[in-house]
Structure 1
Amino acid sequence: MKDFIKLIKFRLTFLVVFSASISFLIGSKVNGVIHWADWVKLIIGGFLITGAANGFNEIIEKDLDRLMKRTADRPLPSGRMTNGQALILSLGMGLAGTYLLGNLNLLTGYLSIFAIVLYAFAYTPLKQKSPISVFVGAIPGALPPLIGYVAAYGRIDEIALILFLIQFVWQFPHFWAIAWVLDDDYKLAGFRLLPTGKRDRISAVITFIFTLVLVPVSLLPTIYHYGGYYVGAISLVCSVIFLYQALVMLRALSIESARQLMFGSFIYLPIVQLMFLFDFTGK
């Protein structure tokens, strides 16, 4: 069980499913009714789909994971699980998850397949080639709220795009803060995730710029009158605090300041998404 939890990257999978489930409830508010059975299907299906994508990622990166301290103890590089076992588990989760999500509606199923393919077979191999991999990875990374909303509402509209855009822009300071903290370990596997490929002021400036862009993006629910002033005020406060952390990183260029930005990113997204749900004003 411990190896299975590591294979699917449980904490990451939990955050993905949480994001999708909140967006499902927002989509349900648009519909005017919450189908709790479908919400459970989304959670289980989303968990399986995300676990499958992470499993494929670890199969592809097994030899690279063996080179890094933080990943060397994962089940595949450590030899506690074979590629065949991981492949069977990942395929099984992928098929079961796609069936459950496709059962909600076909668009949800198609988006889920697209997320797996893009994450495992585009983002994963690009990590060694170019920092552009972060931009590619941000697309499947931002799909969970879109998938959750479509699972409830059945189609992509302006609200769905706002949910997608908030998580899409958020991922850049989130990923780059993690990449700054773990850059030494990533270099052991040849990963190039920082904007310039190294810890320098230009990478910090680019991180700050994307955090700055997140400020108006986080206000889109209020600007377009899908959310009230509460979500606008809380989102603004969280964005300014997040921006301040990025400014500290820009000035200090230290691992500790990047770690604070990383932790700030973990707190920022669920607060903004929950506030959008609680202060949703309708279409």
Structure 2
Amino acid sequence: MIWKDFIKLIKFRLTFLVVFSASITFLIGSKVNIQLGTQEGINWINWAKLIIGGFLITGAANGFNEIIEKDLDRLMKRTSDRPLPAGRMTNGQALILSLFMGFGGTYLLGSLNLFTGFLSIFAIILYAFAYTPLKQKSPISVFVGAIPGALPTMIGYIAAHPKLDEIALIVFFIQFVWQFPHFWAIAWVLDDDYKLAGFRLLPTGKRDTTSAVITFISTLILLPVSLLPTFYGYGGYYIGGVSLVCSLIFLYQAFMLMRTREISAARQLMFGSFLYLPVVQLMFLFDFVGK
């Protein structure tokens, strides 16, 4: 039971997806170094440090989030069985665990380079202490939350190649834009539950045509953004083709939500978002050509 509560505290599935994105961009950064001749192969020890450090940092951010939202989590069916609202873990215990993970993760990522360590601290602060309290106040919280949500890609890349270059911005921007249809699809599906806690995550705060149109527009913006690796010459035609096909499918799902405004359509878009990002990121890694 203790292990299961820890898994829930750190939101393991979300943490896994975050670390997965960072690990892929670390490998892309490593390919850049190999092309530049600054290293002969991938440093798998540093890759392991990134994964462990990223896991700890993300777990810490989620722990702080659950401490702050303990009373609100108790109001929602989806979150009422988390260890804090269910009373199986105290705020003090969660705080100690989160601080330990935060310090440990920062140390590991900072040992790769100081820029990576700084970005990890910034991500925790922005997610836990800016995005979290804004969720009850304004839909702008989705924009704020998309920044720390996309930072892991930049953190992973810079952990391998400590430079804020075009590739770092491209991987960040793809994940940043992707999060809007992703978040809003989830918010549409869970809107009734979110309202119990007073969360306002849909663009207009409710399931209406305007929210659906804005979600569609964000997915439309993602299409050209996903082609940036090929446009700038860092990826080949394979990543361009796969990104185009995935974006068109994603766009169709968003169109169906806009046309029907049904929860089932939002659920299709949500599941589509889960597949979209890892497919595009993996394809960028495999089809990375550099310059």
TM-score category of the 2 structures, normalised to the smaller one: over 0.9
Read off the aligned partner of 1:214 and give its amino acid letter: L
1:12 is aligned to 2:22: no
Aligned length: 283
In structure 1, distance between residues paired with 2:60 and 2:80: 20
1:47-62 aligned within 5 A: 47-62=55-70
Task: Report the RMSD for the aligned CA atoms in angstroms.
Answer: 0.3
CA distance in 2, matches of 1:282, 1:198: 44
CA distance in 1, matches of 2:102, 2:165: 26
* 3-state secondary structure, aligned to 1:109: helix
Asked if residue 146 in structure 1 is aligned to residue 154 in structure 2, the reply is yes
Kindly report which structure 2 residues correspond to 1:1-283, keeping only aligned pairs within 5 A, or say none. Answer: 1-32=3-34, 33-283=41-291
**Deviation at residue 58 of structure 1 after TM alignment:** 0.0
Question: How far apart, in 2, do the equivalents of 1:156 and 1:24 lie?
Answer: 13
Q: TM-score, normalised by structure 2?
A: 0.97
4+ long deviations beyond 6 Å? none
One-letter identity of the residue aligned with 1:156? L
CA distances 1:114-147 after superposition (whole Å, capped 9, x unpaired)? 0000000000000000000000000000001100
Q: CA deviation at 1:215?
A: 0.3
- Alpha-carbon shift at residue 235 of structure 1 (Å): 0.3
User: Structure 1: where are the runs of 5+ without partners?
Assistant: none
Alpha-carbon distance between aligned partners in 1 of 2:266 and 2:162, rounded to the nearest angstrom: 39
What is the CA deviation profile of residues 32-73 of structure 1, one whole-angstrom value per residue up to 9, with x for unaligned ones? 031000000000000000000000000000000000000000
Deviation per CA, 1:207-252, whole angstroms, max 9, x where unpaired? 0000000000000000000000000000000000000000000001
TM, length-normalised to structure 1 = 1.00
Using the TM superposition, give the Cα deviation of residue 94 of structure 1 relative to its aligned residue in structure 2, in angstroms.
0.2
SS in 2 for 1:243: helix
State, as a whole percentage, how many aligned pairs show the same letter.
83
Q: CA deviation at 1:88?
A: 0.1
| Structure 2: 5+ residue stretches without partners | 35-40
